Amino acid sequence: MRLILFLAVFLFSSVTSTTALARSWVYYDVREPKNQFVLESNPDRSAWLDIGGSAEFCGGKDPYLCFRAGDFQFAVPKGFRGKEVEWTHEGTLYQVSGMSRRYILGQQYMVYFIERDLGQHRLRFLYSRETGLIAITTVGAAQGMVLMLSEKCGYGAPPRCYKSK
């Protein structure tokens, strides 16, 4: 009986602690709202349009905040201060192409434009030190998607962002 009670308490605490660590981020395409990119940790998975798959995140000792969802990946140095110009993560070059104060849905952000190549496309990630990854878009002649964060805190947001919700 004690063993069953112990197992029940252990399973309950495992589930509740896992749930507490779970995070999900939804980015909607402003041109086609039915199109969305969903990223979730714990369990680590992702979805683009109607195709689901796994996601991988950098570990705690890795010097980057990063994810990989199929061919789609993003990385920014932990403790990003906005002074970094470029970095390479897993063979991919990321470059800060600019920064700007932007109003997005009534909130003002200092946004850094972080770009990388993906095949024939150039991806631009709009990243804020206060709220993490805010938007993802393609730039240049082949501009297609414009993905915007659906909530206040995006991927890579510091813990204080979630506390001030």
Sequence ranges of the domains in the chain: 23-163
Q: How far apart are CA 162 and CA 139, in angstroms?
A: 30
End-to-end CA distance of the chain: 43
83-120 residue pLDDT tens: 999 999 999 999 999 999 988 768 888 999 999 998 88
DSSP string, 23-87: EEEEEEESSSTT-EEEEEETTTEEEETTEEEE-EE--TTSSEEEEEETTEEEEEETT--S---EE
At CA 146, angle to CA 150 and CA 33, rounded to 5? 55
- Model pTM score: 0.82
* pLDDT tier for residue 143 given thresholds of 50, 70 and 90: low
Tell which wins on pLDDT, 106 or 20.
106
Q: Which amino acid is at 12?
A: F
26-79 residue pLDDT tens: 999 998 888 899 999 999 999 988 889 999 999 889 999 999 998 789 999 999
Tell which wins on pLDDT, 164 or 131.
131
Q: How far apart are CA 125 and CA 46, in angstroms?
A: 17
Instruction: Please check the confidence at residue 15 and state whether its pLDDT lies above 80.
Output: no
133 touches 127 (CB < 8 A): yes
Task: State the virtual CA torsion across 117, 70, 149, 66 in degrees, nearest 10.
Answer: -80
What does the block give as tokens for 134? 């805010």
3-state helix, strand, coil in the chain (%, to 5): 15, 50, 35
Spell out the residues 6+ positions from residue 88 whose beta carbon is closer than 8 angstroms to its own.
94
